[in-house]
Structure 1
Amino acid sequence: MSRTREATGVAERSLSQQPGVAGPVSPPRVSARRRRPGVIALSLALIAAGGAGVAVLLLEVGDRTQVVTVARDVQVGQVLTEQDLGRASVALDPAVKAVRADDLDQVVGKRAAVELRPGSLLAPSQVTKDSLVKPGEQLVPIGLEPKQIPATALVPGQKVLLVHVPAQGATETGKTSEAAPQSIDGRVVKASNAAPGTGVVVVDVATSASDGPRAAAWVSAGTLRLVLAAPDGS
């Protein structure tokens, strides 16, 4: 028995003395990392800022208003139908006046006070319940050459004077050349774009039924001039 133990001890000592034979391996020591309060605080602040940014973005995207849009071309004075209008959801600036989608039924059946273009928002001022040509009035189309077109844009509802200017050297029977020219009160209903090539603009002017034929005769003779009335309508 003693010989066996001695043999075992000699074997163990010989193994420990042989090169390349490792002894017992101790487990690695894991050092605990020091937590830095500053880094933790910065991380929390970044997470909070990111969450706040997402919240603001969601609020902006969600704050939209249903409004009425123009679906197709509508001429001045034309009665609006449901087919002329549409709906859209937009982020509406408080300064922009637009008809809300809930009020669509209130604008259907009214007339366009101005020319409406597809894709634009419909504003309350662009529609009217009144006919642009009132009972007892007539519509007189007047062609204006480029030199006769006022620099101020002609808009529906603008008051004008239709002035008769006789041809140079000609006077009317019983009237002297010093007499004040005749004039007719009118109101712009529509002004077209300048015609390609000629630049002529056609202006539809509403006048009283009694003055309509006279204004048309002046237009035919080329002796009519359109003058803008004063801002107060006088």
Structure 2
Amino acid sequence: MSKIQERADPASSNGVPRHERAAGPVAPPRVSARRRRPGVIALSLALMAAGGAGVAVLLLQVGNRTDVVTVVRDIQVGQVLTAADLGKASIALDPAVKAVRADDLRSVVGKRAAVELKPGSLLAPSQVTRDSLVKAGEQLVPIGLEPKQIPATALVPGQRVQLVHVPAQGTADAGKSSDAAPQTFDGRVVKASGAAPGTGIVVVDVATSASDGPTVVAWEATDTLRLILSAPDGR
């Protein structure tokens, strides 16, 4: 074999290929360390703290729940409450909201609704009463009021009123001296309806003494009855 062939032939004289030289160790790439900015670190810590505080508040709100009594049916004024009229709910109750606790549900069963109650509402202690809205010795008189006769102040159960007789024009009573005080009776609102469609008339159930009831009915029949609100102390 010539020297030229020997240089060109990659194999050794025994037919085994020559081993390539082993490569040396490869140095890892350099990673430049980033400088951490103090402002970024502070912002990250603040966000972490705020998130932790939010979770803590949420857990407190979820855990601080109160079992209260709710209304599940329409209940009219004066209606006696039954267990079927009431339900229970667990809510995060604001301390300013007065509601009957679920543990006291039995204490309100058998009482009367002092106001009209709607399904889905919380039951407040002031919305029930043990007293009958029409007491012994009283009568309930319905009074229809036209829109111009309805006080701007809402009529609510328990409100004190005066029933005033206003003689019709052209009658003998209307000719009496103008300085004579009109005849009046005391009453108490038991319930006031909504305004009737078309006419706007509101019907007010008024409790008055049994001795005054027939006279009040006569005034109502002749449209000579007017209703005025009394002072809170009844004077």
- Tell me the TM-score normalized by structure 1: 0.83
Q: What secondary structure, in the 3-state scheme, does the structure 1 residue paired with 2:173 have?
A: coil
Q: TM-score, normalised by structure 2?
A: 0.82
1:109 match:
110
The residue number in structure 2 matching 1:4 is: none
SS of aligned partner of 1:96: coil
CA drift at 1:199:
0.7
Q: 1:164 maps to which residue? A: 165
**Structure 1, unaligned stretches of length 5 or more?**
1-9
| Distance in 2 of aligned mates of 1:158 and 1:126 | 14
- Find the residue that maps to 1:69 and give its secondary structure: strand
**Other-structure match for 2:5:** none
Deviation at 1:181, TM superposition (A): 1.2
Aligned residue pairs, count: 218
Q: Distance in 1 between matches of 2:90 and 2:120?
A: 13
Please state if 1:196 is matched with 2:197. Answer: yes
Residue 5 of structure 1 corresponds to which residue in structure 2? none
AA of the residue aligned to 2:153: T
Q: Is the 8 A contact 1:171 1:177 kept in 2?
A: no
Q: Call closer, same or farther: CA 1:139–1:40 in 2, change over 3 Å.
A: closer
Return the letter of the residue paired with 2:172: T
Provide the secondary structure at the position in 1 that maps to 2:126: helix
The 5-angstrom pairing of residues 1-234 of structure 1 reads 23-29=22-28, 47=48, 49-172=50-173, 176-178=176-178, 179-234=180-235
Q: Distance in 2 between matches of 1:102 and 1:36?
A: 62
How far apart, in 1, do the equivalents of 2:196 and 2:173 lie? 33
1:172, distance to aligned residue in structure 2 (A): 3.5
Instruction: Describe the SS at the equivalent of 2:121.
Output: coil
Percent identical:
73
In 2, the alpha carbon distance for the partners of 1:45 and 1:194 equals: 58
- Over residues 41-88 of structure 1, what are the superposed CA-to-partner deviations in whole Å (9 max), with x where a residue is unaligned? 876765555444322211111111111111111000110111111111
Runs of 5+ consecutive residues of structure 2 not aligned to the other structure: 1-10
Q: Which secondary structure state, in structure 2, belongs to the residue aligned with residue 133 of structure 1?
A: coil
Paired residue type of 2:75: V
